[in-house]
Structure 1
């Protein structure tokens, strides 16, 4: 059975005018990694290994936006996201520098790879 190896990320986003945060756990995938590659070059951002927090925040934004959870631009998201943590399938935080070592659970039962 195929395994999705892209990391899940937990983010905290500040709510305007309050001391409270919205918390989201989001599963990233190849589409978010490709969006990072394309955007990183356009914005002259460093490579993932040189900016792991920027990378984790960006791929979380991409996954949240792609799944219509948020409508913020990447720049607005970067200014409102107060925390981004790569997480294990059990929800435990992982240092962003070690994100490439985290594999997620296999695809849900009933979904077979082609």
Structure 2
């Protein structure tokens, strides 16, 4: 049986980083706000990446239905962000949502290609 401690630690750090990103404008301003936001975003990216490599999350993210949802939802949200936001918020949202959508599309193509190769070799 594997330890659940890494999941708890990474999930807690990821949640704290996301909360720091969203709610930092309520407590900080100026250069301090920028530093807190950049640190929170980098922390959430790192912990999210590490969390996605652990087994229960990894197999969940490899499912076709999850990849289709991530592709569709993030593509629509990226288009909405492009149309509704302005400035650096627009650029950051479109890049973030668009990259998730593209990576989900890459995952869909890879799983389809692997499935076709298995069918040909069988």
TM-score of the superposed pair, with normalisation by structure 1 = 0.25
Larger relative CO (CA 8 A, sep 6+): 1 or 2?
Answer: 1
TM-score of the superposed pair, with normalisation by structure 2 = 0.24
Structure with the greater alpha carbon radius of gyration: 2
- Structure having the higher strand fraction is 1
- Structure having the higher helix fraction is 2
